[in-house]
Structure 1
Amino acid sequence: MFIEKSCGVIVYRIQIENIEFLAVKSKANGHWGFPKGHMENHESEEQTAKREVFEETGLSVDLLRGFRAKTQYMLDDGISKEVIYFIGTSSEKNVSIQADEIQEYRWLKYSKMKELLSFDNSKQILKEAHDFLSLLNYS
């Protein structure tokens, strides 16, 4: 079975003592999720994740150590998709979306983000990221 692998980042920021997460809406299918994309030759998972966030949002992110989450699902064409997520933040304030792939973006608090995400596996990854940040006293 062919497995297609992508990597991404759950991007967060602290706004007046609240954590906000970055959601992006795919232009291809209208689904809300996190910035992610395909691995390229000789890239590590972390390199792919950071590159994809930069390409899709214009943000350079710093990844936090100790968080790596994986989800797997089937695509419509029968290909198995594996996505590895990291968590990270950026000191940059301006998001500049990649117009040919991303329709729009939003910064949202955890509860609103959980409502907006299109898939249950994304909601589970968000919960894991939120719990991880809570352990670090970010919430």
Structure 2
Amino acid sequence: MLKNLTIEGKNMVKEVSAGAIVYTIENNKPLFLLVQHNHGNHFSFPKGHIEKGESIMETAKREVYEETGIMIEFTSDKMQVNTYLMPNGVYKDVYYFLAKASNHIIKFPKDEIRHAGWYNYDQVLQYLTYDNDKIIFLKLVKELKYENNR
């Protein structure tokens, strides 16, 4: 969703997206879902644009499914927002939630996603391209109810 925004008297465009940090439990340890995008080649969490009439949580659920084939259940309504300025001059807010996977077999659209997979805690911190994503990951993973998230 694009919104018009005025900052210091200048008209700006703001884009709003939503996604999720998705996890599953394997051998009593969490694994997390990452995607590598074709455009930009960066690793991040599944996310996408809000469609008209859609809530942020509905968008996150839809986008995770569209990008990975994974159905999710939110484990909390707590969210983290990543705000940044894109190279094209558009400000972007991305709302992230923590969610548990309902299925585990990943199916992704090859025209949009280069790779998608399950990664452990340390691998997520190694592969994520942007520091802002790492910060959001660390904040939301604290919500997991396991003694050792790693």
**Normalising by structure 2, what TM-score?**
0.88
Higher strand share: 2
Q: Of 66, 89, 103, which aligns to 2:100?
A: 89
Q: Structure 1: which 5+ residue stretches go unaligned?
A: none
Give aligned-pair identity as a percent. 35
Q: 1:99 aligns with which of 110, 120, 123?
A: 110
Runs ≥4 residues deviating over 4 A: none
Which whole-Å CA distance do the structure 2 matches of 1:44 and 1:66 have between them?
A: 12
Measured after TM superposition, the shift of residue 99 of structure 1 is 1.2
The aligned residue for residue 49 of structure 1 is 60
> More relative contact order in 1 or in 2 (CA 8 Å, sep 6+)?
1
RMSD over aligned CA atoms reads: 1.1
Query: Between Structure 1 and Structure 2, how many residues are aligned?
Result: 137
Q: Greater share of helix residues, 1 or 2?
A: 1
For residues 45 and 27 of structure 1, the distance between their equivalents in structure 2, rounded to whole angstroms, comes to 24
2:146 matched residue in structure 1: 137
- The answer to whether the 8 A contact 1:110-1:130 is kept is no
Question: Rg larger in 1 or in 2?
Answer: 2
The corresponding residue for 2:122 is 111
Q: Could you give the per-residue CA deviations for residues 32-89 of structure 1, whole angstroms, max 9, x where no partner exists?
A: 0000000000000000000000100011110112420101001111000100001111
Correspondence 1:59 to 2:70? yes
Pair 1:72-2:56 in alignment: no
Of the candidates 30, 33, 40, which is equivalent to residue 44 of structure 2? 33
Q: What is the DSSP-based 3-state SS (H/G/I as helix, E as strand, rest coil) of the residue aligned with 2:143?
A: helix
